[in-house]
Chain A
Amino acid sequence: MTDATAAQHDAHEHHPKGLARWLFTTNHKEIGTLYLIFSLVMFLVGGAMALVIRAELFAPGLHLVNPEFFNQMTTMHALVMIFGAVMPAFVGLANWMVPLMIGAPDMALPRMNNWSFWIMPFAFTLLLATLFMPSGAPASGWTLYPPLSLQGGNSLAFVILAIHLMGISSIMGAINIIATILNMRAPGMTLLRMPMFVWTWLITAFLLIAVMPVLAGAVTMLLTDRFFGTSFFNAAGGGDPVLYQHIFWFFGHPEVYIMILPAFGIVSEIIPTFSRKKLFGYTSMVYATASIAFLSFIVWAHHMFTVGMPLGAALFFMYATMVIAVPTGIKIFNWVSTMWRGSMTFETPMLFALGFVVLFTIGGLSGVMLAIVPADFQYHDTYFVVAHFHYVLVTGAVFAIMASVYYWLPKWTGHMYNETLGKIHFWWSTFWVNVLFFPQHYLGLAGMPRRIPDYAIQFTEFNVISSIGGFAFGIGQLLFVYIVWQCARGGQKATANVWEGARGLEWTVPSPAPLHTFDNPPNVDDPDLVAHTGGTR
């Protein structure tokens, strides 16, 4: 994507061609592109798995797949979407945009950057290969709770190794991002002048380093319990399966913020651009993000209320969880206030950002409902939970990623995407995603359990609606693939600034961004740049 117009800039470089170029690249933009393409492929793979689930649930009874395969699909859909689609997409965006936004020539550790990407295809080959093994893919849910996960086949070893590889990749990526942000900012770019996307990624990277190793420890214990005779989680040997849940969710709750904080950053970039105003309450945004990150470490047991815990503990985890609504509310307030009396226009990135604000808030509110201990006893492991986390992950994280792709695609490719098709993609996706997930709230409240291939006939109508929404939403994403492909191949030339109201260092370089930018660091206080960067925030 970036090589065509960068040629005159790089004439002095000996650049490998073909596959070797992508295999050995240490350029942050090329690695960012690789991450984004990988993520898109995984999004389609995980989406296909989701459609198997929705097809089976189209009617009560067992029709298409046997229950074992259904369970493998629910498990693999989650693992692929979380570790293969959402997380690599954010890492790809960080690779592309963080150096451009802080005026750095590249990431701090380019060679390590190459390794952290190229680990991913190996990890997912291992993970997806389990589908073709005699014992099948893991079928115990992505949380891999023992004792169930230990009663499956030997393919568990492949899954655990794949998780180790993903973890190593994420940790290396996070170290790289922190070293870049703390070390390579342009002169004058103080911490509190950094764009919000950079801030949210700095905090996310610390979360990654703190919790990915804990997940690695938990799955290593599963591995030794299953194959080497230890009894961490085996009650007969003096272990405790509930211990796994504590360790897992100590990782798992920060993990859900790893998947949403960069989305907050993206939306905080897009809304000011299309409102033609500075972000309202920048400093409070930074502190709200940091508060959410801190709180994420002390709420893990809200995933386990029904396991049983003393009243005091249940109350603590309930209140701590509800407190998260305060910094999140501050963020939503700030986004709305940024739009207040702004000269708003509604290009596709802004539409997705607005869709994010509205629909993520719905997911946030059902999250507060789930935090209420007695209510959670009813909602636990029902479709209400499924509806909740798909509102925050699909209309939250995925919508933000789509918004960011439309927002920065002209900068990456040098071409404008087809605005009409982009708008159709937004309205199509927004309509059908609600048809897909909103009925699942009702199914859950009525008691339909998750991860079960069959259901009682009174749940039929809502499941039919949900499945229709699922297929329509899924087909709509092929339009997204087409729009990106079309934009990469050509189209109306994009200006350097691309968007009238865009502010930030990334808009001072030409479109498409040359392979090498900011070889000489920009001075953020330079009067020419102040207009671009909006000066001090």
Chain B
Amino acid sequence: MSDSRASTLNSKLRYVGQLALFAVAMFGFGYLLVPLYDKFCEVTGIGGRTAEGPVAEAEYLPTEPDMSREVTVHFDANVNSSLPWHFEPVEKTMAVHPGKMYETAYIATNYSDQPVVAQAVPSVAPGLASLHFNKTECFCFTEQLLGPGESREMPVRFFVHPDLDDGTNFVTLSYIVYKNDDATARETVAMGQ
């Protein structure tokens, strides 16, 4: 009898150990979803993220632009509420031929009386089009410092790759500018000295 009690206890403890391990593993899985999601978005373009650095023009730009096709690119600008900036595109829309390089610009104005550093985060809609929307130059790659009342025109050079899905005739490039608190504090100290 005591033998069977002991074996029942052992088998209970085995279940508890395995199930507790499973629970801990699932907690880890929750965190594993973060890099998995990043990788998934990068590969499939879901989420509308664009390449983090400038793409090498020579490598990606096809020699022959597709002049028979026209894609409308919309430019969108948003400012995070904590940032005292005006921010808007020079052109609202642009008709482009896939495979041809274009340049446009956004204008940012710091209307506060302090120097402010901000950083722009781009995204492209529809998400799958982001794989074929390439920026060779963009202000989003670096921190932007504007002095009090300063205004600046910030260029974007881009091309739409001819591999863009045939059904996609509209692409939106959107930026949100966020205040970079650390860099702003650094600049404020540097100016003070």
Contact = CB atoms under 8 A, between A and B. Distances in A.
Contact of B16 (A109, A243, A247, A309): A109
Contacts of A235: 121, 176, 178
B30 interface: yes
A242 B41 CA distance: 11
A174 B12 CA distance: 13
B125 A209 contact: no
A250 B19 contact: no
29 contacts: A108-B12, A109-B12, A171-B23, A175-B15, A175-B19, A178-B15, A179-B19, A182-B15, A183-B12, A209-B19, A209-B23, A211-B26, A213-B23, A213-B27, A214-B27, A214-B30, A214-B33, A217-B28, A217-B31, A221-B31, A236-B121, A240-B47, A243-B37, A308-B125, A308-B126, A310-B44, A310-B46, A310-B127, A310-B128
Task: Kindly list the 7 A-B residue pairs having the minimum CB-CB distance in the complex, ordered from nearest.
Answer: A217-B30, A236-B178, A213-B27, A213-B26, A214-B30, A179-B15, A175-B19
Contact of B127 (A179, A216, A308): A308
Interface string A288-314: 000000000000000000001110010
A178 B19 contact: yes
Interface in B6-57: 8, 11-12, 15-16, 19-20, 22-31, 33-34, 37, 41, 44, 46-48
A313 B127 CA distance: 12
A65 interface: no
Interface in B114-143: 119, 121, 125-128
Interface string A191-228: 00000000000000000011111111110010000000
Interface in A215-258: 215-218, 221, 232, 235-236, 240, 242-243, 246-247, 250
Given A214-B27, A217-B29, A236-B119, 5 more contacts: A212-B26, A216-B27, A217-B30, A235-B178, A240-B41
A218 B127 CA distance: 24
A310 B40 CA distance: 13
A217 B121 contact: no
A210 B26 contact: yes
B44 to A, nearest CB: 7
A236 B46 CA distance: 18
B80 A236 contact: yes
Contacts, number: 93
A257 B131 CA distance: 37
Given A109-B12, A209-B22, A213-B27, A313 B46 contact: yes
A215 B29 CA distance: 11
A246 B27 CA distance: 15
B8 A183 contact: yes
B121 A216 contact: no
Interface of B: 8, 11-12, 15-16, 19-20, 22-31, 33-34, 37, 41, 44, 46-48, 80, 119, 121, 125-128, 176, 178-180
A211 B29 CA distance: 10
Interface in A426-466: none
Contacts of B121: 235-236
A249 B1 CA distance: 48
Contacts of B27: 213-214, 216-217
A174 B16 CA distance: 10
- From B29, B41, B128, B178, residue with most partner A Cβ within 10 Å: B29
B155 to A, nearest CB: 22
Contacts of A232: 34
A204 to B, nearest CB: 14
A217 B121 CA distance: 26
B153 to A, nearest CB: 23
Contacts of A108: 12, 15-16
Nearest to A234: B178
A345 to B, nearest CB: 41
Nearest to A171: B23
Given A175-B20, A246-B37, A247-B33, A209 B26 contact: yes
Nearest to B27: A213
